[in-house]
Structure 1
Amino acid sequence: MPIPRLVTPCLFTLCLGGTAAAQTQDDAAPGVVVATVTSAVVQTADAYVGRVIAQQRVDLQARVEGILQEVNFIPGSQVSKGDVLFRIEQDVYEADVASARASVTGAEATAKGSDVVLKRNQNLLEKGDVPQSVVDGALADYGQDLAAVDQAKAALKLAQINLGYTEITSPLDGRIDWSSVDAGNVINSDSGVLATVTSVDPIYVSFFVSEGTLIDVRKKGLIADHAIKLKARIHLSDGSEYGTSGQVIYVGTQVRQDTDTIELRASFANPDGALLPGQFVSAFLEDAGATPSLTVPQSALQLDKDGHFVFVLDDKNMVHRQPVDTGQQIAGAWQITSGLKEGQKVVVQGLQKIHDGATVTPVDASGHPTQ
């Protein structure tokens, strides 16, 4: 059956319409994602294995013998300097103090009597009623009695010290672990460690850097005999960054020959106890005096035979190839030492659709059109 002549023009018209639409779509400015050139402090990305260590760690031990009457702490809790953690029976030691105090009183009374005898004999010697030998004997007796007073006072002091040892107190602020003994047991100096108190705030992180790294930071003046200007930051085992930076307070005195590394220690504030002794972390050196420099996202940087370049967007939404010089790479960004200015916009996605001089439709990372 012959096709009506009226159909052919319609088909032809549809074909022309489809071709025109395709051409319009091809000629539209391609969409790209852009980012703003920003200024930031670029720090080294070199990570070092670090271990958290306590600033102070004290093992508590008994110094006198007796029945342990009290254990006054919860294992794992925070304790303060001076808190009474253990108390040993005090009755015997209080009695020793009382006895020693009585001995001091008796010795002082005896010495007072000797002094009276000595003075009387000295008066009699002046009158010629007693020979010199009697005065000499009285003087010797008085000296012995004074020595007995000193000896009694020393015994009293020792008794008071032993009484004080019946209360075992915390020598520092920190956390305390489990007690190795329970109340009711007899303990003495041979009982070993009763518990351990560990300081947690501030806390140290120890890590080792290469000899070359140490030479580099010394050349920058960050480590000197009179001051250390070097800081450190750490990442926890889950990859998150610890909230505050730490101050490097110690530089090792020798290079480890097996690894050619030197120990550094940094002090970190740890008010909530998030860092625990023995914990592993990733440590990064931080130059406290570093100045801000320009950075661009890593995805913006391109490389060809002529070197590194980026595509910069102008105010007419046209992109231009811009050669740049780069510095360090860190945290998904590149440091730009020359070729760009802060506030310029560079293409970070859609690079395969553009070329030098192309007009684009720019949006930011959230998909919103840029101004």
Structure 2
Amino acid sequence: MSSTRRVVKSPGRALAWPLLLAVPAAVMLAACSKQDPAQGAGQAPPPPEVGVITAAVQNVPVVTELPGRTEASRIAQVRARAAGILVERRFTEGSDVKAGQVLFRIDAAPYEASQASARAQLARAEATLAQARAQAQRYEPLVKANAISQQDYIDAVATAKAAEADVAAAQAALQTAGINLGYATVTAPISGRIGRALVTEGALVGQGEVTQLATVQQIDPMYVNFTQPVADVMRLRQAIAGGKFKGAGGTVPVRVLLDDGSVYPVAGKLLFSDLTVDETTGQITLRAELPNPKGTLLPGMYVRVRLEQAQASDAILVPQQAVTRSNQGDTVLVVAPDGKFAPRQVKIASGRDGQWVVLDGLAAGDKVITDGFQKLRGATTVRPVPWSPGGAASQPAGAAASAPAAAPASAPAASAPAKA
């Protein structure tokens, strides 16, 4: 007896294969819909925008910035030239004093006594001189009448001359006593600002050595001493001799930057440059003079000196951010008319106001990349746009404007699978 098997087909298995085939198709469709339409069409992305400046030839002053220290134009040490007890101080520490102003007084009693004694010695010498002259005059007619010997007359004349010498010596002693008495009153040797008193009333000064009492410094005008490497000086002279620079004629202007970065409002002038090179540092010393009517500058301050030593003819100013400096040299990126960019080595003379003075490597009309360096990775060409320090925000604004333009294009593509 044979049995008959009945095969029953499951409805779930019958629908499994069509579903498995439909899922990959939907995934592929969604992937295709998310692709950028520009990439799907085979188009390359547009070249990035970069900020550029157009090189322009001009005459630029060559300004060198060097470290320096301020120094009083005149310094006088007030010392006690008379020995004795200091009895009075007649100035305010840190104030301005005038030449000849009384600063200290030393006990003058011993010097007054010495002056009185010298005056008495002079009076005695003058009396002796008067007697000697009278005797010589009385002997003159007697010797002619042979009433006295010739030797007596000669002795009388010699005595009168010796008395004259004694009077001269007494006068000198009296003058010396007056000078010593004057030293008991200590005056300011120059006009300027006086510092603190180094001794107080009651101190014994001038014994054994000349005691310093105070210091007066004249700070208007003020000196600024600074140094410059001799190699820089030689290069500057060679550039002037080669015609690249024009030497600064007449008065060389000097500007000073204070420690806080501010510029001292009054310009100064260069006084001299030393002819001797320091053997240990290889630098030469220069000195400038600046007016200081308000006493803003104080002796010993650290400053930066901006010195205009020459004029660079046919120079080009480039923002410092456009230059890459390394041991191999200084380079900039220059954009060609076809949009391609390439590095170019340049020669820099000095810097001023956030810019480098370029002497060689650039020509008028060259477009130098100044902003947008982060966009150059992987790019072969760029689209240059004018750049200025105040308009640096124009490039980010262009980049921000391109982002919303791409957003509407991507939104419909993302919604395509939903419609399918």
User: Letter of the aligned partner of 2:94 in structure 1?
Assistant: G
Please say if residues 100 and 159 of structure 1, whose CA atoms lie closer than 8 Å, have aligned partners that are also in contact.
yes
Cα offset, 1:152, TM superposition: 0.5
Please say if residues 52 and 367 of structure 2, whose CA atoms lie closer than 8 Å, have aligned partners that are also in contact.
no
User: Letter of the aligned partner of 2:301 in structure 1?
Assistant: Q
Distance in 2 between residues matched to 1:93 and 1:238, nearest whole Å = 53
Cα distance per residue 1:181-209 (max 9 Å; x no partner): 22233332447321112232223323332
Distance in 2 between residues matched to 1:235 and 1:346, nearest whole Å = 31
Greater than 4 Å deviation, 4+ residue runs: 30-40, 227-232, 288-294, 299-303, 307-312, 323-327, 344-364, 366-369
User: 1:101–1:199: structure 2 CA closer, same or farther, 3 Å change rule?
Assistant: same
Distance in 1 between residues matched to 2:141 and 2:333, nearest whole Å = 112
Partner of 1:239: 261
Distance in 2 between residues matched to 1:340 and 1:36, nearest whole Å = 5
Partner of 2:139: 121
Cα distance per residue 1:155-204 (max 9 Å; x no partner): 01101110110121122222222112222333324473211122322233
**Do residues 182 (structure 1) and 203 (structure 2) align?**
no
Counterpart secondary structure, 2:390: coil
**Do residues 169 (structure 1) and 194 (structure 2) align?**
no
Partner of 1:108: 126
Counterpart secondary structure, 2:300: coil
**Do residues 216 (structure 1) and 235 (structure 2) align?**
yes
Partner of 1:200: 219
- How big is the alpha-carbon RMSD for the aligned residues of Structure 1 and Structure 2? 4.4
Counterpart secondary structure, 2:357: strand
User: Letter of the aligned partner of 1:287 in structure 2?
Assistant: Q
Per the normalisation by structure 2, the TM-score is 0.63
Alignment partner of 1:266 out of 271, 276, 288:
288
Distance in 2 between residues matched to 1:359 and 1:49, nearest whole Å = 39
Cα distance per residue 1:229-278 (max 9 Å; x no partner): 6554433222233332341424042431x322233333333333333332
Stretch deviating more after TM superposition (213-222 or 106-115): 213-222
Counterpart secondary structure, 2:216: strand
Partner of 1:275: 297
User: 1:156–1:295: structure 2 CA closer, same or farther, 3 Å change rule?
Assistant: same
User: Letter of the aligned partner of 2:169 in structure 1?
Assistant: Q
User: 1:262–1:127: structure 2 CA closer, same or farther, 3 Å change rule?
Assistant: same
Cα distance per residue 1:121-166 (max 9 Å; x no partner): 0111111111111101101210111111011001011011101101
Partner of 2:351: 330
Stretch deviating more after TM superposition (284-293 or 144-153): 284-293
Partner of 2:410: none
User: 1:252–1:83: structure 2 CA closer, same or farther, 3 Å change rule?
Assistant: farther
Partner of 1:159: 177
Per the normalisation by structure 1, the TM-score is 0.70
Alignment partner of 2:73 out of 44, 55, 69:
55
Please say if residues 251 and 269 of structure 2, whose CA atoms lie closer than 8 Å, have aligned partners that are also in contact.
no
Partner of 2:278: 255
User: 1:324–1:213: structure 2 CA closer, same or farther, 3 Å change rule?
Assistant: closer
User: 1:360–1:149: structure 2 CA closer, same or farther, 3 Å change rule?
Assistant: closer
Please say if residues 75 and 216 of structure 2, whose CA atoms lie closer than 8 Å, have aligned partners that are also in contact.
yes
Counterpart secondary structure, 2:213: strand
Please say if residues 61 and 308 of structure 2, whose CA atoms lie closer than 8 Å, have aligned partners that are also in contact.
no
Cα offset, 1:336, TM superposition: 5.2
Counterpart secondary structure, 1:240: coil
- Structure 2 spans left out of the alignment, 5+ residues: 1-36, 38-44, 326-330, 395-420
Cα offset, 1:367, TM superposition: 8.6
Q: How many residues align?
A: 330
Alignment partner of 1:139 out of 115, 134, 157:
157
